[in-house]
Amino acid sequence: MMRTHESERGAAAVEFGLVLPLLLLLLLGIIEFSRVFHTQLRLQDAAREGARTIALQYDDPGLLDLVGVTKQTLADALGVDLADVDDLIYDVSYCSTDADAPEDQNAVLVLRQTLTLALPLPNADWDTVTVTGNAQMLCEG
């Protein structure tokens, strides 16, 4: 049986107290990275769906509101309200139905969202990150 000295009794608690903040910061960093990465994947998927809608339905004579249909597609893909979609659309390029429009034109959709990070870092100037999803599809109507 091994005897410990009286001065070493609290050493484990002190070491744990020193290491715990670093472990918590690492855990929060992993969680925040996962949240940002998940948001980027959602935006990329929604942009692809929106660009596909624009590219396939731009010359549909029965479709009166392509912008509204595109926004509804984005709302469904992201699982948000239709009113929140306008804040996410950064850039959009619709296909042209003009006779002089080039045959190889593309529908382009860029979505952008700013996330606030929950990392407890003092004096951090980078407490927000902007996540972008973009897609480009050949207009085929």
pLDDT in tens, 77-127: 999 998 899 899 999 988 887 777 777 888 999 999 999 888 776 766 778
What's the whole-model pTM score? Answer: 0.80
Average pLDDT of the segment spanning 43-64:
87
Residue 51 tokens read as: 């660009």
Lookup result for tokens 């659309």:
89
Tell me the DSSP string of 59-80: T-TT-S-HHHHHHHHHHHHHT-
pLDDT for the residue 105: 87
pLDDT greater than 60 at residue 1:
no
Domain definitions of the chain by residue range: 11-138
pLDDT in tens, 25-45: 899 989 999 999 999 999 999
